[in-house]
Chain A
């Protein structure tokens, strides 16, 4: 199966542009205070949450869309979007895998997605996926025993309002930026994680998440709190092609690591990128930030970004605590007409804080791929250390690869290093591989995977394997 087939298949869902089939549960398009109130009411949220949303909405009205990124897209009509849609009813879904397009199943096969997950990913009605239900229940019990709170954001607002109130917006304030403000006003749902003091989360939350994720909607909100000396690894998204009717996505993720805590946040993003002519595709405007609040804390972001027509995303670390550590490992692939402007911010505030940035950008087709990063060392951050490596790989003559790294250093004891290279897959490399009997496509995959290896090794094991396969699928047809 070729990339074109996959795309045309995925594209079918987008024929009608922004418009969803208006189910009775959906709100009409447009945004005003009544819409915000309606969302909050439907979610049965406490008063403080409604107030918070309303303030965000009022702040959003005063803000302007950011224009500095190296991306181009037609203006977004924020009044043409419906800000609340109830999850699809089971009647609309396929009843079993037999009803799912065989091409899609073939992709799952290529990606090596476990059998029991395929049904859920293909959108098969939940009660048809009996296998996973029992698995999920086992997981739930295990987490409960460890004292870990892991639930949907809506549930957290109802069950743990004190935690939500304390931490929500403490890392990404409502008026942080245009899209964060919009998200704060209308966020649909997302995940909430709290790891108690000294607890090492007994499993990768990724595994659980993949089986249980509900339809979180286009304005996802995630909050993860790791209390003192705790540890958690969380994976968001998955390698399977994600379909969604909503073109605009604006998610906010907040991480809080208290003293000695460690959060590892991995993302695999494979939203619909648009067709080979650049029509359609998701606009993904994401604000992700982690706050190393306590001494010796650590936050590590790993991302594999292959989807979306537009990616605007800068997972960042505020390194407040002494000796805290921030990491950012990224592979961003842009093929066809995709545009990615992504990178990170490392803000060194505490003494002896360290950060590592490894960014690998791959451009093919007519795509534009930009790395944009900031390393800032505040005057009090004695002994701060940063190493940045950002490499670009170009495949084809029409694509672009760009780097915009900012370094703002206000402390003389800081050690900052930044390196960047740009290269292409050379004829020599291909010739060498072909001479040894490796097909051109395999050779390209091999070279690309080698290029990304430093990042893949940071992913949880099973996802590293899938991410590698995903990369091959994403770049299908890019060479030759």
Chain B
């Protein structure tokens, strides 16, 4: 299949329309590095072939979890990786419809050369893995993935979305993924973001739940220089339930922003989300959770929680749990905490013979542990644990030394 040609003018317009920090939803996240990378990339020849990721890297990443992997390399799906026949249908599209009418969706639309539509028609033996890998050896590069996933009614689906990038160049990725969970279907979804510590990502994940369907999702942000995730959950049919969690680990020069929005359009339906962050070094994390209970959505149960552990005096957390409620028969609650390790807990461990460092490490790992154990796709737990432990060890070592 030939790829759709890119219109430089259209991309340029979309880049110039990206939001600034004067925009309420972007108050804490400055996209100027994304704009800078895009602009430099546009000045070069946008049609030139992107740098290739090493096959060894791809092999190593896909070997970590026992799944059927689809590989999207620098925005281009690799057809040889598509599973053949069976219960998963994959179609390459020249263009997928934009998700929402917002500046990033318009940029995604302008940058689309290729899009994937994945249909999961029955439960599969292994989970479906989607590896989005970007390579930027030098200069400035932009690539993205656009994926629509459909989970058929009554089907149990397990999906892993893994973002990885490497290279000394600058890279910006603006991916868009939609997930539609059919009636009485169930989706377990794990998102891992482990980009190079200089690279920039904006990612929108829009989920729509049908009657009596269920979502179990967890996201892990381990890498990236500037990361902005938007998760939109749309509960438009009764009986749906969405449970999603996120863990973000940030060290020096990282900026990780998680924005979530849940729309309860009818009741009864429930949503619950919990995000946890561990921050160390000169970094900034943002969590903005919004639940909107629309008029008539009686029987809504919406919960939000956000807990942050600050290990450095150069770290900043900006948290904003929002509720907009237009119905009265609802249960809504949110809780947010920011703090450091409990002195009493450290003391307790020290009285049991652990030294200061071991005590701090133990407690920090414990703060994240519950999230790792609960990764919805069982096959991914081992890999997630290894990644989180590795990142945490580096972070905590830096915190103590």
User: Which residues of A are at the interface with B, using a C-beta cutoff of 8 A?
Assistant: 68, 70, 379, 392, 394-424
Contacts and interface: CB of A to CB of B under 8 A. Distances in A.
A363 B303 CA distance: 20
A189 B349 CA distance: 62
Given A404-B320, A406-B320, A407-B336, A397 B313 contact: no
B333 A394 contact: no
Given A397-B298, A407-B317, 4 more contacts: A400-B325, A405-B321, A405-B322, A414-B339
B321 A401 contact: no
Contacts of A403: 321-323, 334
Contact of A379 (B313, B317, B337): B313
15 contacts: A379-B314, A392-B325, A394-B327, A397-B327, A402-B323, A405-B320, A405-B336, A407-B317, A407-B338, A409-B319, A410-B315, A416-B339, A420-B321, A422-B332, A423-B331
Contacts of B338: 407, 409, 414-416
B9 interface: no
A412 B295 CA distance: 40
Nearest to A400: B326
A419 B321 CA distance: 9
Most buried by B among A70, A396, A411: A411
Contacts of B310: 409, 411-412, 414
Contacts of B331: 422-423
B318 interface: yes
Contact of A417 (B296, B298, B314, B337): B337
Most buried by A among B320, B321, B335, B338: B338
B335 A419 contact: yes
A70 to B, nearest CB: 8
B364 to A, nearest CB: 13
B330 A417 contact: no
B333 A420 contact: yes
B39 to A, nearest CB: 30
B172 to A, nearest CB: 26
B262 interface: no
Q: Closest 3 A-B residue pairs measured CB to CB?
A: A412-B310, A394-B328, A416-B338
B130 to A, nearest CB: 34
Given A412-B312, A418-B335, A424-B329, A407 B320 contact: yes
Chain A interface secondary structure, helix, strand, loop or mixed? strand
Interface residues of B, number: 36
Nearest to A371: B323
A305 B296 CA distance: 27
A398 B294 CA distance: 10
Contacts of A424: 328-330
A404 B328 contact: no
B304 to A, nearest CB: 9
Contacts of A420: 321, 323, 332-335
A401 B323 contact: yes
A9 B330 CA distance: 36
B334 to A, nearest CB: 5
Given A407-B338, A416-B337, A395 B322 contact: no
A422 B331 CA distance: 6
Interface in B192-222: none
Contacts of A398: 295
B311 interface: yes
Nearest to A386: B338
Nearest to A423: B331
A392 B313 CA distance: 34
A434 B68 CA distance: 62
Contacts of A423: 331
Contacts of B322: 402-405
A27 B34 CA distance: 54
B295 A422 contact: no
A401 B330 CA distance: 11
Contacts of A401: 323, 325
A460 B280 CA distance: 45
B325 A406 contact: no
B45 interface: no
Given A405-B320, A412-B310, A418 B330 contact: no
